[in-house]
Amino acid sequence: MSSFTEQLVSEHKNVLLTREQINQKVRAMAAQISQDYKGEVPVLICVLNGSFLFFTDLVRELTIDCEVDFVKISSYGDALKSSGKIDVLKNVDCPLEGRHVLIVEDIIDTGLSVHFLRRWIKKLNPASMRFVSLLVKEGTAIVDYECEYRGFTIGKEFVIGYGLDYKQLFRNLPEIYIMPEALLDAMNK
């Protein structure tokens, strides 16, 4: 019996973004950020858990001085859709007052997380705040939000891999896949 990960990786047709496409995009986004923040020392905030691979790849490509910090907010649990309710599970450690802050997300779907984070971080009085997201789903937002640095615009499908999970699995994969129906069924048997 093969693992769920093996079953997914064998489904080449479900690859949405290859390792190479992701690498290229991450390098381009890091180059843009390095240019825009030249002479500044921004604090980059990783929104756990989904952003962890994107975040580490992104910061490794930056050529400016920067600091890193981590927040964790509650998200989907094991569901495929947002519950709409967001809690802070881990706060930032670094004082953000007067700092240039870049909040790094894996994916924006309903926009609720970004909307929430923007209001919450704003209370910490940063000098500036921008959002970075590797993926942005098209036509799924239920609130207005701004995201200044966007990687790929994708469809409505549920995606996994490269930090993104289903039931906590598949975060370790270097590609991004569309969740196959058959795998969803197998995991919910």
> Checking DSSP bridges between strand 128-137 and strand 149-154, what pairing results, if any?
parallel
CB contact set of 189 (below 8 Å; sequence gap of 6+): none
Q: With CA atoms as reference, report the closest residue to 135 among 50, 42, 31, 32.
A: 50
CB of 135 to ligand 5GP, least distance (A): 8
Piece of 4-12, 29-37, 95-103, 164-172 that binds ligand 5GP (CB under 6 A): 164-172
Q: With CA atoms as reference, report the closest residue to 176 among 23, 70, 4.
A: 23
102-131: contacts with ligand 5GP (CB under 6 A): 105-113
Q: Is 109 a catalytic residue?
A: yes
Query: Does residue 176 contact residue 160 with C-beta atoms inside 8 Å?
Result: yes
**Where does residue 152 rank: exposed (0-12), middle (13-18), buried (19+ CB within 10 A)?**
middle
The single residue among 42, 50, 126, 151 that binds ligand 5GP, judged by CB under 6 A, is 50
Identity of the residue, 62 or 76, whose beta carbon is nearer to ligand 5GP in the bound complex: 76
Tokens for 169, please give them. 């699995």
Q: Is 175 a binder of ligand 5GP (CB under 6 A)?
A: no
Q: Is 109 a binder of Mg ion (CB under 5 A)?
A: no
Q: Is 76 a binder of ligand 5GP (CB under 6 A)?
A: yes
CB of 38 to ligand 5GP, least distance (A): 28
- Positions annotated as catalytic residues are 109
Binding site for ligand 5GP (CB under 6 A): 50, 75-76, 82, 105-113, 158-160, 164-166
